[in-house]
A and B are shown apart, each in its own frame.
Chain A
Amino acid sequence: MEKKLLYLNRRAPYGGIYAQESLEVVLIGAAFDQDVSLLFIDDGVLQLKKGQDTTGVGMKNFSPTFGALEMYDVEKLYVSRESMAARAINERDLVVGVTVLNDAEIADLMDEQDAVLSF
């Protein structure tokens, strides 16, 4: 039976491995035909900042992968308006098209899931 799965991303991209690990799990999980959503709140919104260039720090820039998620039928990307505002970024700063939600809408999104996977 198809389940509603929400990947909850709350970390900045390069300070730890959470962000990259989340994306790995999303790609693996995409093979199982579930109803998948990705939500970015708190520092997680920073993962989607466009223009990332990691050549100077010796790490892999995984942000282009967000643009390829559509090919894996992962099409529901949600971002917190409040989290972006607190960090002085906006929708135009993002590497991929997303749905921007306020806090009440985010609570509803979490509420309607069968499971939430946190990173």
Chain B
Amino acid sequence: MSILHTVNKSPFEKSSLESCLKYVKANSAILLIEDAVYAALQGTEIGERLGSAASEVRLFVLGPDLRARGLVDKPLIETIEVVDYEGFVELAAQYDKVQAWL
């Protein structure tokens, strides 16, 4: 089964994204929302690790949450795709299930 993993916690404060990366399987996807969008920035340790997962897993980040946090002027990891709320809904429909990492 293909899973859309959503992560909403800051990778610098909580281990949610670390755990997600540990258990995610090929052909699944990770969508960063809320405070997890900080993991999409280039130049951080977690960003590098997340980026390297992209060979097996698709990576997405929610644009409105990036904008709220003032991150649109910062370079994102190259393997991540920005989606809006419509894209979020499409992803949720496209994968067999959604698993939230709170």
A interface vs B, CB < 8 Å? 11-15, 42-43, 46, 49-57, 59, 61, 63, 86-89, 93, 95
Contact = CB atoms under 8 A, between A and B. Distances in A.
B16 to A, nearest CB: 11
The dominant DSSP class at the A interface is loop
Given A49-B71, A52-B68, A61-B68, A42 B12 contact: yes
Interface string B60-92: 000111011111111000000000000000000
Contacts of B45: 86
Interface in B29-61: 34-35, 38, 41-45, 47
B85 to A, nearest CB: 8
Interface of B is mostly: loop
B70 A49 contact: yes
Range of interface residues on B (Cβ < 8 Å): 20 to 34
B10 interface: yes
Contacts of B9: 15
A14 B35 contact: yes
Contacts of B10: 12, 15, 43
